[in-house]
């Protein structure tokens, strides 16, 4: 070891100690400053939290899961749709620990309604994420949570329940897998139903579930009886325009709508399907003719010999050998008589009335499934169009259009826009006058006579003073021009009680194939049964002593001799 190396550690320069002390103090000072700054920072943050940040965010109880929707209830508060909390089960196959096959077996035990192959496919699949099943019950979710498998994810979501299953399926609608409304009111009021501020406030429909049930079950039994392709019906309050029932058959189960929206059962025949509703239109033509003054008196006579216009020939099915008075034209459903009235009126007046009645617009109401009516083109509304539209051919409308127009016809001549939402008691709705009160009163009497002495005898619900008109029209050939003579659309449109009309009922049976195919024997009995069932519910009492005023028609028609009981 060199002397220099030995001497080095013992060398202490003067001032060295002071220097080391200075450095230590400096470091200490920096440390203290840092500590102080950190403390001040904490203090400031505390102050900020206390003063400016408000209440802690997790203070509220976690309640509503996403996709919760407000309930839908009928006019009496009966629940038609409501939301429940449910869970969706998803698998993240890469995170699964342990035996996958054992996991599949355990899941299959918990989810008996789910196909085991589907569970296996989700658990074994080669991706990051896959749903095993949606909308499972909280108990099942709890059981799955207890499995403790990190590769399984439970997501909260909402389950929509329709307690009445298929009742008013088309009107109420349904929700898709992601909880969004995909039909009916669910779709039309998507924003209102999902508004967080109004979740606890149910959407009140104008529909009465009891009336709806009566309409649907009567239509269904007639459909089964006559082996028809479909059926539709509407019940409308003539004074408010509220839709009390709207049925379209075949229907579907709203809880599991399934399939595509293009299926026949998903088409709303009452608001989306347009049909040539035939003779039910004659009442409008007569009202138009009386109201516009082209027919001045009820005793004007119309001959029934066929009319030839361009390539068409218009004739009556059972022509009478004598000229018909105005009431007789309706009672005997004379095509020729109404065509002659329409001819006198001309296209402009006819179009104007049809416009005011809403026949040239899309189906009324809040639903988004609104059919566009078919009518002659503007440049093609010549004489033949005027004549055929006069007795309800060449114009295709929805049953809801027809119900709304009948309500206008019988309620004194004012049109209220139909609505699916309950109108508050005593609220005044906007109304436009279409027919004069006098015309409306005369037509009420004539419609009553059409039931008592005309084609609608089987619709006469005893004591309820029913009035209305049958309509039988041939269906348009699919994919071809012209009509199919073997396939009919049968309709009955009417109101009750005719001395002071309150409700309009439209029943339509599409293509009855067994037994009679005429409206008088297919659609009219449905109308009668529906009225018999709904009138007590709606507070209309039968009265055998009352009848609407038909004095103006006295002597202008031949009353039926013997009452024919169906």
Partner 1 sequence: MARMMLKSPGNAAWMRDGSVRSGRRGWASAAFLIAGTLAVALTSYSLSLKVSSERRETDRIARQNRALESELKAMDAELRVRMRLPQLQRWNDTILGMVPISASQYLANPVHLANYGKPLPGDAPALPSVQLAVRDVPIAPSLAKPLLVSAPGAPMEKGATTRPSQASLPIDPVLASAMSQAVSSQTAPDDLLRQVEMTFQGQPGNP
Active site residues: 279
Give phi and psi for 255, each to the nearest 5.
Answer: -70, -30
Interacting residues with partner 1 between 304 and 323 (CB under 8 A):
none
Is 467 near partner 1 (CB under 8 A)? no
Is 161 near partner 1 (CB under 8 A)? yes
- Packing angle of the helix pair 100-110, 116-124 (nearest 10 deg): 140
Is 65 near partner 1 (CB under 8 A)? no
Joined together, the tokens standing for residue 490 give: 């049968």
Residue 390 C-beta: closest distance to partner 1, Å: 36
Site pattern 67..106 for partner 1 (x: CB under 8 A) = ------------x--x-xx---------------------
Residue 15 C-beta: closest distance to partner 1, Å: 14
Q: Give the C-alpha distances (Å, rounded to integers) separating 237 from 157, 161, 463, 497.
A: 39, 28, 19, 12
Instruction: Map residue 483 onto helix, strand or coil.
Output: strand
Residue 164 C-beta: closest distance to partner 1, Å: 5
Q: Which residues, listed in sequence order, are joined to residue 247 by a DSSP beta bridge?
A: 233
Number of neighbours of residue 37 by Cβ within 10 angstroms: 10
Is 142 near partner 1 (CB under 8 A)? no
**Part of the chain binding partner 1 (CB under 8 A), chosen from 5-13, 158-166, 324-332, 363-371:** 158-166
Give phi and psi for 118, each to the nearest 5.
Answer: -65, -40
Pick between residue 59 and residue 478 the one whose CB is nearest to partner 1.
59
Query: From the list 233, 365, 394, 463, which residue makes contact with partner 1 (rule: CB under 8 A)?
Result: 463
Pick between residue 55 and residue 377 the one whose CB is nearest to partner 1.
55
Which residues, in sequence order, are CB contacts of 275 under 8 Å at separation 6+?
A: 396, 397, 398, 399, 473, 489, 491, 508, 510
Instruction: Map residue 199 onto helix, strand or coil.
Output: coil
Query: From the list 543, 554, 560, 566, which residue makes contact with partner 1 (rule: CB under 8 A)?
Result: 543
Strands (E), 447-550: 467-476, 483-496, 503-510
Residue 209 C-beta: closest distance to partner 1, Å: 6
Residue 372 C-beta: closest distance to partner 1, Å: 32
Pick between residue 200 and residue 558 the one whose CB is nearest to partner 1.
200
Residue 218 C-beta: closest distance to partner 1, Å: 10
Residue 541 C-beta: closest distance to partner 1, Å: 6
Asked whether the bond before 409 is cis by omega within 30 degrees of 0, the reply is no
Pick between residue 373 and residue 532 the one whose CB is nearest to partner 1.
532
Pick between residue 247 and residue 386 the one whose CB is nearest to partner 1.
247
Query: From the list 67, 69, 164, 448, which residue makes contact with partner 1 (rule: CB under 8 A)?
Result: 164
Is 194 near partner 1 (CB under 8 A)? no
Q: Which residues, listed in sequence order, are joined to residue 218 by a DSSP beta bridge?
A: none
Joined together, the tokens standing for residue 308 give: 């030839």
Pick between residue 135 and residue 320 the one whose CB is nearest to partner 1.
135
d(CA 157, CA 123): 21
Pick between residue 163 and residue 293 the one whose CB is nearest to partner 1.
163
Is 462 near partner 1 (CB under 8 A)? yes
d(CA 518, CA 490): 6
Q: Using alpha carbons, select from 113, 200, 194, 198 the residue that is nearest to residue 158.
A: 194
Pick between residue 330 and residue 534 the one whose CB is nearest to partner 1.
534
Total residues contacting partner 1 (rule CB under 8 A)?
Answer: 30
In degrees, rounded to 5, the angle at the alpha carbon of residue 32 between the alpha carbons of residues 30 and 36 is: 115
Q: Which residues, listed in sequence order, are joined to residue 497 by a DSSP beta bridge?
A: none
Is 544 near partner 1 (CB under 8 A)? yes
Residue 63 C-beta: closest distance to partner 1, Å: 6
Query: From the list 5, 61, 260, 377, which residue makes contact with partner 1 (rule: CB under 8 A)?
Result: 61
Joined together, the tokens standing for residue 63 give: 């309640």
Is 217 near partner 1 (CB under 8 A)? yes
Is 464 near partner 1 (CB under 8 A)? yes
Is 566 near partner 1 (CB under 8 A)? no
**Part of the chain binding partner 1 (CB under 8 A), chosen from 95-103, 204-212, 264-272, 502-510:** 204-212
**Part of the chain binding partner 1 (CB under 8 A), chosen from 120-128, 331-339, 486-494, 533-541:** 533-541
d(CA 100, CA 114): 17
Q: Using alpha carbons, select from 354, 310, 356, 318 the residue that is nearest to residue 337.
A: 318
The DSSP code for 461 is: -
Asked whether the bond before 221 is cis by omega within 30 degrees of 0, the reply is no
Residue 222 C-beta: closest distance to partner 1, Å: 14
H helix runs in 226-309, sequence order: 282-292
d(CA 205, CA 215): 17
| Contact residues: partner 1, CB under 8 A | 59, 61, 63, 79, 82, 84-85, 161, 163-167, 209-210, 212-213, 216-217, 461-464, 532-533, 536, 541-544
């Amino acid at each position: 070891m060199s002397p220099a190396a030995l001497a080095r550690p013992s060398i202490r320069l003067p001032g060295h100690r002071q220097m080391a002390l200075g450095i230590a103090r400096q470091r200490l000072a920096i440390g203290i400053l840092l500590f102080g700054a950190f403390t001040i920072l904490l203090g400031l943050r505390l102050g900020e939290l206390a003063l400016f940040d408000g209440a802690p965010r997790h203070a509220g109880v976690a309640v509503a899961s996403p996709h919760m929707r407000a309930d839908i209830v009928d006019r009496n508060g009966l629940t038609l749709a409501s939301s429940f909390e449910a869970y969706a089960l998803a698998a993240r196959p890469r995170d699964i620990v342990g035996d996958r096959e054992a996991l599949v077996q355990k899941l299959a035990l918990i989810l008996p309604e789910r196909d085991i192959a589907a569970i296996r496919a989700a658990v074994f699949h080669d991706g990051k994420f896959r749903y095993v099943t949606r909308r499972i019950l909280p108990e099942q979710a709890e059981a799955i949570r207890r499995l403790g498998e990190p590769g399984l994810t439970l997501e909260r979501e909402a389950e929509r329940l329709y307690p009445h299953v298929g009742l008013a399926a088309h009107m109420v609608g349904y929700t898709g897998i992601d909880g969004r409304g995909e039909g009916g009111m669910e779709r039309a009021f998507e924003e209102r139903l999902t508004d967080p501020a109004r979740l606890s406030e149910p959407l009140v429909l104008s529909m009465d579930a009891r009336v709806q049930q009566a309409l649907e079950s009567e239509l269904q039994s007639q459909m089964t009886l006559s082996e028809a392709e479909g059926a539709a019906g509407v019940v409308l309050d003539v004074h408010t325009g509220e839709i009390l029932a709207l049925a379209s058959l075949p229907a579907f189960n709203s809880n599991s709508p399934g399939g595509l929206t293009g299926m026949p059962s998903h088409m709303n025949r009452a608001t989306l399907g347009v049909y040539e509703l035939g003779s039910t239109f004659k009442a409008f033509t007569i009202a138009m003719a009386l109201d516009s003054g082209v027919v001045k008196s009820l005793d004007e006579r119309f001959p029934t010999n066929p009319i030839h216009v361009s390539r068409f020939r218009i004739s009556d099915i059972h022509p009478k050998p004598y000229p018909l008075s105005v009431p007789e034209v309706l009672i005997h459903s004379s095509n020729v008589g109404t065509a002659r009235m329409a001819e006198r009126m001309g296209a402009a007046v006819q179009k104007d009335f049809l416009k005011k009645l809403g026949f040239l617009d899309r189906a009324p109401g809040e639903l988004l499934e609104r059919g566009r009516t078919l009518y002659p083109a503007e440049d093609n509304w010549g004489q033949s169009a005027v004549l055929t539209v006069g007795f309800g051919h060449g114009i295709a409308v929805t049953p809801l259009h027809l119900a709304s127009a009948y309500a206008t016809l019988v309620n004194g001549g004012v049109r209220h826009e139909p609505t699916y939402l309950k109108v508050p008691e005593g609220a005044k709705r906007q109304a436009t006058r279409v027919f004069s009160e006098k015309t409306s009163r005369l037509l009420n009497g004539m419609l009553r006579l059409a039931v008592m002495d005309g084609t609608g005898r089987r619709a006469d619900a005893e004591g309820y003073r029913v009035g209305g008109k049958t309509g039988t029209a041939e269906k348009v050939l699919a994919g071809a021009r012209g009509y199919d003579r073997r396939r009919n659309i049968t309709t009955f449109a009417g109101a009750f009680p005719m001395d002071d009309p309150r409700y309009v009922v439209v029943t339509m049976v599409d293509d009855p194939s067994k037994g009679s195919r005429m409206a008088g024997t297919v659609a009219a009995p449905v109308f009668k049964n529906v009225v018999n069932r709904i009138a007590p519910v709606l507070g209309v009492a039968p009265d055998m002593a009352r009848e609407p005023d038909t004095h103006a028609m006295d002597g202008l028609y031949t009353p039926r001799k013997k009452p024919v009981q169906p």
